[in-house]
C-alpha cells in the first residue's frame, strides 16, 4: 500500500524538473534592434550603416576609423559571434598629435553653429605615457611607447614603465586605450 504513492510523486517531480530546465530557454526574449545596436556601439565606437536580423543573430554593418565591418551578435544575449572587415579605411589612423585641424571663425550672433557629429579623437603618445606612469606611480618616456592599430580592435598604446623601489626595481608594460585613455592591462616583467 505504501508503494502506490511513489510513482505519482516521482512523475510530478520529473515534470517539475523539466519545466524548470526548459522554461529559461523557451521564455528568453530576443534583443530589440536598438538594444543590439547599443551592445555593438559600446564595444566598437563608430557609425552603424545597417542592421538585419535572422532567426538567432543580428548582423550589423558598422563604419569604424579603420574601415567597414560586419559584426554578428547573438540575438538572445548580445555576445559577439564574429567580426569581419568588408572595406578598408581610405586613409590610415593617425595619432591625435599628427592630426591637423583648421580653426573655424567664430559664428556671428545671427548665425547658429551647425550641429556636427561628435568626433572620436585619439589621445597622444605623451598622454598615454603620462597615464601609464601615473597608474603605476613609476617613470616612462615617450620613446618607451608604441602605438598599435589592429584590425577589429580599438587602437592602443603599449608603454614600458619603470618602478624604482630601492633594490627591488621592476618594469611593466601598460596597455592604454587610445580612445578613452583607460588602462586595459598591466604585464609585469619577471
Q: Looking at residue 175, which CATH number applies to its domain?
A: 3.10.450
Phi, psi at 43, each rounded to 5°: -90, -35
pLDDT of residue 99: 47
Domains held by the chain: number: 2
pTM: 0.40
Q: What is the pLDDT of residue 23?
A: 60
Residues 6 or more apart in contact with residue 175 via CB below 8 angstroms: 156, 157, 158, 183, 184, 185, 186, 187
Q: How many CB atoms lie within 10 A of CB 70?
A: 16
DSSP state of 151: T
C-alpha cell of residue 76: 538572445
* pLDDT of the residue at 97: 44
Q: Are residues 137 and 83 in the same domain?
A: no
DSSP labels, 55-89: SSEEEEEEEETTEEEEEEEETTT--EEEEEEEEE-
pLDDT at 105: 54
Q: How are strands ordered across the β-sheet holding 57-64?
A: 47-53, 57-64, 67-74, 80-88
Q: Which phi and psi (to 5°) does residue 53 adopt?
A: -120, 130
Q: Are residues 130 and 184 in the same domain?
A: yes
CATH number at residue 40: 3.10.450.40
Domain that holds residue 144: 125-188
Taking the C-alpha atoms of residue 84 and residue 80, their distance in angstroms, rounded to an integer, is 11
Question: Does 141 map to a domain?
Answer: yes
Beta bridge partners of 68: 63, 87
Q: Answer whether residue 104 is part of any domain.
A: no
Q: What is the pLDDT of residue 22?
A: 66
Asked if residue 133 and residue 84 are part of one domain, the reply reads no
Among 60, 88, 116, where does a domain finish?
88
Q: Are 129 and 182 members of one domain?
A: yes
118, part of any domain? no
| Residue at 4 is within a domain | no
In a domain, 177, yes or no: yes
Residue 153 falls inside a structural domain: yes
Taking a C-beta distance cutoff of 8 angstroms, is the pair 38, 56 a contact? no
pLDDT in tens, the chain (190 residues): 566 777 777 788 888 877 677 665 555 678 888 888 888 888 888 889 999 988 889 899 988 888 888 888 888 888 888 888 888 876 555 544 444 444 455 555 555 555 555 556 888 999 999 999 998 888 898 888 999 888 878 889 999 998 887 777 888 999 998 888 889 888 888 6
Both 84 and 129 in one domain: the answer is: no
Domain presence at residue 101: no
Is 13 a domain residue? Answer: no
Amino acid at each position: 500500500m505504501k508503494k502506490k504513492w511513489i510513482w505519482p510523486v516521482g512523475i510530478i517531480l520529473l515534470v517539475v524538473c523539466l519545466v524548470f530546465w526548459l522554461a529559461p530557454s523557451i521564455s528568453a526574449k530576443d534583443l530589440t534592434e536598438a538594444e543590439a545596436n547599443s551592445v555593438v556601439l559600446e564595444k566598437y565606437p563608430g557609425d552603424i550603416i545597417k542592421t538585419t536580423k535572422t532567426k538567432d543573430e543580428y548582423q550589423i554593418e558598422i563604419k569604424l576609423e579603420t574601415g567597414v565591418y560586419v559584426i554578428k551578435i547573438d540575438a538572445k544575449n548580445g555576445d559577439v559571434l564574429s567580426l569581419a572587415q568588408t572595406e578598408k579605411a581610405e586613409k590610415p589612423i593617425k595619432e591625435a598629435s599628427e592630426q591637423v585641424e583648421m580653426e573655424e571663425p567664430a559664428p556671428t550672433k545671427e548665425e547658429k553653429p551647425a550641429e556636427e557629429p561628435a568626433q572620436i579623437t585619439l589621445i597622444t603618445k605623451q598622454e598615454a605615457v603620462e597615464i601609464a606612469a601615473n597608474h603605476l606611480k613609476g617613470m616612462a618616456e615617450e620613446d618607451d611607447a608604441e602605438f598599435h592599430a589592429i584590425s577589429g580592435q580599438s587602437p592602443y598604446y603599449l608603454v614600458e614603465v619603470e618602478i624604482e623601489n630601492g633594490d627591488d626595481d621592476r618594469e611593466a608594460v601598460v596597455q592604454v586605450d587610445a580612445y578613452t585613455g583607460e588602462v586595459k592591462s598591466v604585464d609585469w616583467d619577471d
